[in-house]
Structure 1
Amino acid sequence: MRKTLTLGLAAGIVAAIGFVAPAQAISSTSADLSVLHAIPGLTVDVYVDGALTLDNFTPGTLAGPLDVPAGDHVVAITAADAADASAPVLGPITLSLAAGSSYTAVAHLDASGNPTVTNFTNDISATPAGQGRLTVRHVAAAPAVDILAGGAAVVSGLTNPNEASLVLPASTVSAAVALAGTTAPVIGPADVVIKDGTLTIVYAWGSAEDGNLALATQEITVAHTNPGGVNSGTAGYAAQRDEMVRAIWIGGAAVALAALVAAVVIVRRRRIES
């Protein structure tokens, strides 16, 4: 069973693999926080600031984003259906969240197979028109890996819990994960869609020893492009909104002026004819 709860943060939670999160809820006083469960074979409950936030959170599930006030927040992960957060199996840990930023907290295995939590900062800066950002994160109990695209390494020697990013033209990339220095995939290949103005994050998670390595993906809209430039985050949406309002106002004024001119012409014609 999955429940959506409030933390006193007025935040909604949606869970899915291949989750798409618009980077527009953040503000000068809040941050976006998503949570990825990447520990195989363990269903958990997640508490934030002492409140049950994710109930029966299953492996391979991504939840969020939570729109949370900037500052420090304490996260504790307990066994499923625990009475409270007093006996965590992982944590408690403190996440420091900066206003106007986006984060994904990942519960995962370290390189030795021990449960841990890593809080990643998501790069939501604008990308050039027609391009998107691909970030690959190694959160698996596995040695260093290479990320392959079209059979060639585009990221080499990536270790747990690190990440690497590329800005690429919008396209579909066939990606695979191989042990560092090799080309035989241990995960994939899988098609990864790079979208214009989108941060696509691919997580390699699971355990090489247990043979359950897998991929999870997350998409965050970071910018809207137009012929005149690139808008990003809340500023981009606000600018687009203001432009739309301005266009509507100008268009309305033009229609009103045209109607007034037409009315004056009609009145003059009637006076002449009379």
Structure 2
Amino acid sequence: MRNRILAGLGVVALATVGFAAPANAVSDTTADLWLVHAFPDDALGDGESSTVTIDIGNGAIVLDGVTPETVAPQVDLDPNTYNVTITRESDSTELFNADVTLEAGVSYTAVAHPSIDGDDEVNGFTVSIFENDLSTIAAGEGKITVRHTAGVGAVDIRSGSAVVAGGLANPNEGTLTLPAGVVSDVNAAVAGTDTRAIELGDVTLAEGQHIFVHAFGPDGGDFGAVIFDIEGLHSTPGGIPGGTAGLVDEGTNGIAFGLAGAAALMLLIAGGVIAVRRNAVTAER
């Protein structure tokens, strides 16, 4: 399995930034943990930089100088409950302190990002923990997971102007299963409007690839995304299937995506499947 880190500002393009994580699947005896810093500078309105120190397990793992739009190297941890603290380096302010429980055989991503209030305004710093879907992907297909971790209200995930997933709220995620190939003009717009917040452009999705997109912003009024992908999840290679479009079972923690008509969806993603779920694991303060 190969893992690559990708990132961008403003209008986002999928481009490698030169980091390769360990080329192995999650083990049965340890937990994988990715760390995504998606909290912009001055998001709290106090003029401070958001460069932080992350401490996992009371000094077991310490990452200094972690800047916004960073994906820290994947780490393997024994299953346990770990205290996680995040401290802003500019003034030593403790932004986050909570216990996180990790289970063996599970891959997680911890995302530091703005929390928002009922008026869709940034009201603090939080960490959301997601389970990464590393399940086998059918031959000829790939997946894209979009995680709403920006300081803004609900968004619509679109291809061009057609909505494939509507009303995705912070801090939830949505997953699309698509035929491998080019997915055209992928973007996120403020829910119910044509105002684009994030532009991914034409996304090339390889067979067996799972792309994880973490919404980032606002940063000086602009939005972007922090992105990494995991490859090598495919089953026996085969032709790209035609498939059908529809919703999969979301489980008890799921929320429903709004769709802009079944016919439009089928024309849009030609065989994609959309699943939505809330962040699967929560940090306990």
- The TM-score normalised by the length of structure 2 is 0.68
Q: Does the CA contact (< 8 Å) of 1:151 and 1:183 recur in 2?
A: yes
Structure 1 moving runs of 4+ over 4 Å: 18-23
Q: Does the CA contact (< 8 Å) of 1:101 and 1:121 recur in 2?
A: yes
Distance in 1 (alpha carbons) for counterparts of 2:141 and 2:132: 17
Q: Does the CA contact (< 8 Å) of 1:135 and 1:166 recur in 2?
A: yes
> Which residue number in structure 2 is paired with residue 94 of structure 1?
99
State which of 219, 227, 240 in structure 2 corresponds to 1:217.
227
Q: Does 1:183 align with 2:194?
A: yes
Deviations 1:203-256 (A, max 9, x none): 111128x4131111110125143258xxxxxxxxxxxxxxxxxxxxxxxxxxxx
State which of 66, 73, 81 in structure 2 corresponds to 1:57.
66
Aligned residue identity for 2:98: I
Deviations 1:1-55 (A, max 9, x none): xxxxxxxxxxxxx976356656734212101101001111110111111225211
Q: Does the CA contact (< 8 Å) of 2:5 and 2:227 recur in 1?
A: no
Distance in 2 (alpha carbons) for counterparts of 1:81 and 1:69: 32
> Which residue number in structure 1 is paired with residue 133 of structure 2?
123
> Which residue number in structure 2 is paired with residue 75 of structure 1?
84
Task: Name the structure, 1 or 2, with higher relative contact order (CA <8 Å, separation 6+).
Answer: 2
Q: Does the CA contact (< 8 Å) of 1:148 and 1:183 recur in 2?
A: no
Q: Secondary structure at the match of 1:40?
A: coil
Distance 1:156 1:31, change over 3 A: same
Task: Say which is worse superposed, 21-30 or 95-104, in terms of deviation.
Answer: 21-30
Distance 1:159 1:108, change over 3 A: same
* Aligned positions of 1:116-265 closer than 5 A: 116-173=126-183, 174-207=185-218, 210-221=220-231, 223-227=233-237
Distance in 2 (alpha carbons) for counterparts of 1:227 and 1:162: 31
Give aligned pairs, total. 211
Deviations 1:181-203 (A, max 9, x none): 12231221433232211211111
Distance 1:142 1:23, change over 3 A: farther
Aligned residue identity for 2:88: A
- Cα RMSD of the aligned pairs, angstroms, is 2.5
State which of 15, 38, 45 in structure 1 corresponds to 2:53.
45
Q: Secondary structure at the match of 1:26?
A: coil
- The TM-score normalised by the length of structure 1 is 0.70
Distance in 2 (alpha carbons) for counterparts of 1:89 and 1:227: 48
Distance 1:191 1:216, change over 3 A: farther
Q: Does 1:108 align with 2:113?
A: yes
Deviations 1:76-129 (A, max 9, x none): 0112288xxxx6522221121111111110000012311100011111111110
Distance 1:56 1:227, change over 3 A: closer
> Which residue number in structure 1 is paired with residue 30 of structure 2?
30
Distance in 2 (alpha carbons) for counterparts of 1:99 and 1:53: 21
Distance in 2 (alpha carbons) for counterparts of 1:204 and 1:196: 24
Distance in 2 (alpha carbons) for counterparts of 1:204 and 1:32: 22
Query: Which structure has the greater CA radius of gyration?
Result: 1
Question: % of aligned pairs identical?
Answer: 40
Larger helix fraction of residues: 1
Distance 1:192 1:89, change over 3 A: farther
Q: Secondary structure at the match of 1:197?
A: coil
Q: Secondary structure at the match of 1:140?
A: coil
Aligned residue identity for 1:214: G
Q: Secondary structure at the match of 1:139?
A: coil
Q: Does the CA contact (< 8 Å) of 2:30 and 2:77 recur in 1?
A: yes
